[in-house]
Amino acid sequence: MKRVMLVVAYDGTGYCGWQVQPNAVTVEGVLNQKLSELLHEDIKVTGASRTDSGVHALGNVAVFDTESRIPGEKFSYALNQRLPDDIRIQKSMEVEPDFHPRHCKCWKEYEYHIFNAEFANPIERLYSYFVYKKLNIEAMKQAAAHLIGEHDFKSFCSTAAQTETTVRTIYGIDVESQGNSIVIKVRGNGFLYNMVRIIAGTLVQVGLGFYEPDRVKEMLEAKDRTAAGPTAPACGLRLNEIFYNVDKNCG
């Protein structure tokens, strides 16, 4: 028995998110099916980030246990031959049997893409949030700076979520202009349900002038979901990468 880690990229457009659900096509479900077919075992993967319907990933992480003698690094090639072209394994490797993608310490990087122009660009439509009013990027940068550090992000968490604590640490937020696109890159040690999309929705409201940048401080202090801005659409979000401290203990 060995444990294999997969780095998984997918276009979330055609999936009802990561997590297996009855009567819905999910990324986890497709991986379970294709791995089980490949290995003639009943494989169930465990994912790091259970991304929502329509959210994309360049580097989500999953593990599974198998009796197979295929070397860890060969699974990427074998699986990619069977997967639909909107899911592609970027890397595979054998890991320690106690490595768990959600319980082991890590930090994650997400990107949120906004297309800001008078008219939408059809080839960006599946991967960005279209905003036709001109956004003030400097104001968005000022607002984002208030979110950096350790904070209680309860105002930036969808109420459906139940977690022990809503305190998280954001290491950095970059708001960058790339042509007509605005990219918000967020790195942190963990993210609450819908947290990056609520951050993006709030920064868009700031960029439109509905809120002053400093208002974000009050939003954090309120610890109330209704204090922050709306949840921006799923298609603008992509999980870039998850970094594990693989040299040290999992805990």
**Residue 77 marked ligand-binding:** no
How many other CB atoms are there within 10 angstroms of residue 7's CB atom? 20
Cβ(220)–Cβ(147) under 8 Å?
yes
Is residue 246 involved in binding a second copy (CB under 8 A)? no
Nearer to a second copy, 115 or 156 (CB): 115
Among 35, 45, 89, 131, binds a second copy (CB under 8 A): 89
Specify whether 52 is catalytic. yes
Among 21, 33, 121, 177, binds a second copy (CB under 8 A): 121
Region near a second copy per CB under 8 A, out of 16-24, 113-121, 155-163, 204-212: 113-121
Angle at 159 between CA 223 and CA 164, to 5 degrees: 75
Distance CA 231, CA 251 (A): 32
Site size toward a second copy (CB under 8 A) is 23
Cβ(239)–Cβ(119) under 8 Å?
no
Q: Which residue shows structure tokens 């880690």?
A: 5
Span 34-63, contacts to a second copy by CB under 8 A: 56, 58
Structure tokens at 159: 């109420």
Region near a second copy per CB under 8 A, out of 39-47, 119-127, 148-156, 224-232: 119-127
CA dihedral (6, 59, 78, 20) positive or negative: positive
Distance CA 25, CA 81 (A): 19
Nearer to a second copy, 87 or 104 (CB): 87
Is residue 9 involved in binding a second copy (CB under 8 A)? yes
Catalytic residue (one of 11, 52, 98, 152): 52
Distance CA 224, CA 172 (A): 23
CA 163 to chain centre: 18
**Residue of 41, 50, 238, 210 lying closest to 131 (CA atoms):** 210
Is residue 88 involved in binding a second copy (CB under 8 A)? yes
Is residue 85 involved in binding a second copy (CB under 8 A)? yes
Among 44, 82, 105, 125, binds a second copy (CB under 8 A): 125
| Shortest distance in whole angstroms from residue 9 CB to a second copy | 5
Binding-site members are 110
Q: List, by residue number, the catalytic residues.
A: 52
Q: Which residues contact a second copy by CB under 8 A?
A: 9-11, 56, 58, 76, 80, 85-91, 119-123, 125-127, 238
